[in-house]
Amino acid sequence: MSTESQTCISRVQSIYQQNYGYPELCVKSPGRINLIGEHTDYNLGFVLPAAIDKAIYIAMGKRTDAEIHLIAADVNESFSVSITELSKSSLEWPNYIMGIVDQLSKLGLPIGGFNAVIAGDVPLGAGLSSSAALECAAVFALNELFGLALSKLEMVKLAQRAENQFVGLQCGIMDMFASMFGKAGEVIRLDCRSLEYHYTPFNQRGIKIVLLDTCVKHSLASTEYNVRRKECEFGVSEIQKNHPAVCSLRDVNTDMLLAIQNKVDKKVFNRCKFIVEEIKRLQDACIDLEHNDMIAFGEKMYMTHAGLSNLYEVSCKELDFLAAFSKGKESVLGARMMGGGFGGCTINLVKEELVEEFILEAEFAFEKEFDTKLKSYIVSIGDGTSLVSID
């Protein structure tokens, strides 16, 4: 276990002890990256994410009453509510936990009051799914604490519903799936329609995964995300007029798409075009990965970026700048914006021996262009949600 992990565990444990006595358990749930396949999850295509070595930690124990008492150590805030009176909080972070509790009660699963302390080292708002990590940590911990016997997949689906219904982001399943099912050194090829998945090794390719964090946090991100989803659904409904068997953009080919080109708004057409291309691109990229052709894989990442920026319109000038910067570098095999968009990070596959040089150059160029500091993280692929031992 890394020093960062140990520090977070000791932190949640000691803050828990100061406030509530000895915790009954502690759960670690990681953030995620996604190599390729963006916005394809809710269109029932494929994604290629992995859990990272940065995580959210939650220490938890039962209470004798029906209240929930929470402390978020990193922001030094606390929150309490009765289990029967859940309602959205302006603090935001408690909503992820209340969303989980809300779903458990919708399933009629018996839980009582509990205390929890949260801390972590997943950068917030950077597109690394700290929120899904928190939801997975909470559902995993409650499942253990109250002996609910939910499977990992049930917990993933429950966490997604919590985000959709309580938090209000109509996200797909990728983030929770990656956090829960992550495996050290492996990326997950997930079919978001059948939920079949398999692991592909990513280590030993002489490549480091470098995230460049613009630190841009766009307030429109969740509204625009939901709009993209609606635009895709609208495209599908138009295609269905001629092809009733089509259920999602996963079932759509180029001919079907071209047939609606003059019937729908250009934006809707472009959104659908990107998704249809991205689903195909991911499948091709997986073949590159099998053949260890990281050059071809990297080229597809640049194409994904171009599509996200021009057709799906979820990029921003800082992300475009970083993707273009990486494209000109010998040291980088592929780069693109990652996650929902409108800010956050680019993901860069960088030749191991040139990582430090690349980061220094990127930091310099970014500061020169935007007069603001760039953050960077070298991440490795870690295990998914699990119990961690406490002393």
Q: Which is nearer to ligand GLA, 379 or 388 (CB)?
A: 379
How many CB atoms within 10 Å of residue 353? 10
Q: Which is nearer to ligand GLA, 117 or 221 (CB)?
A: 221
Among 155, 174, 180, 335, binds ligand GLA (CB under 6 A): 174
Among 20, 42, 166, 177, binds ligand GLA (CB under 6 A): 42
12 interacts with ligand GLA by CB under 6 A: no
Among 23, 339, 343, 344, binds ligand GLA (CB under 6 A): 339
Q: Which is nearer to ligand GLA, 23 or 307 (CB)?
A: 307
- Of 10-18, 35-43, 93-101, 148-156, the segment contacting ligand GLA by CB under 6 A is 35-43
278 interacts with ligand GLA by CB under 6 A: no
Among 41, 121, 213, 278, binds ligand GLA (CB under 6 A): 41
135 interacts with ligand GLA by CB under 6 A: no
Q: Which is nearer to ligand GLA, 101 or 133 (CB)?
A: 133
Answer yes or no: are the C-beta atoms of 348 and 358 closer than 8 Å. yes
* Beta carbons within 8 Å of 298's beta carbon, 6+ residues apart: 332, 333, 334, 335, 349
3-state secondary structure the chain: CCHHHHHHHHHHHHHHHHHHCCCCEEEEEEEEEECCCCCCCCCCCEECEEEEEEEEEEEEEECCCCEEEEEECCCCEEEEEEHHHCCCCCCCHHHHHHHHHHHHHHCCCCCCCEEEEEEECCCCCCCCCHHHHHHHHHHHHHHHHCCCCCCHHHHHHHHHHHHHHHHCCCCCCHHHHHHHHCECCEEEEEECCCCCEEEEECCCCCEEEEEEECCCCCCCHHHHHHHHHHHHHHHHHHHHCCCCCCCCHHHCCHHHHHHHCCCCCHHHHHHHHHHHHHHHHHHHHHHHHHCCCHHHHHHHHHHHHHHHHHCCCCCCHHHHHHHHHHHCCCCEEEEEECCCCCCCEEEEEEEHHHHHHHHHHHHHHHHHHHCCCCEEEEECECCCCEEECCC
274 interacts with ligand GLA by CB under 6 A: no
Which entry of 41, 102, 175, 213 is annotated as an active-site residue? Answer: 175
- Of 102-110, 172-180, 254-262, 303-311, the segment contacting ligand GLA by CB under 6 A is 172-180
Per-residue x/- marks for ligand GLA, 104-133, CB under 6 A? -------------------------x----
Q: Which is nearer to ligand GLA, 78 or 222 (CB)?
A: 222
340 interacts with ligand GLA by CB under 6 A: yes
Q: Which is nearer to ligand GLA, 39 or 281 (CB)?
A: 39
Residue 177 sits at φ, ψ, to 5 deg, of -60, -45
228 interacts with ligand GLA by CB under 6 A: no
- Of 13-21, 108-116, 166-174, 366-374, the segment contacting ligand GLA by CB under 6 A is 166-174
Per-residue x/- marks for ligand GLA, 294-333, CB under 6 A? ----------------------------------------
Look up 293 and say whether it is catalytic.
no
172 interacts with ligand GLA by CB under 6 A: yes
The residues assigned a catalytic role are: 175
Q: Which residues contribute to the site for ligand GLA (CB under 6 A)? A: 38-39, 41-42, 129, 171-172, 174-175, 339-340
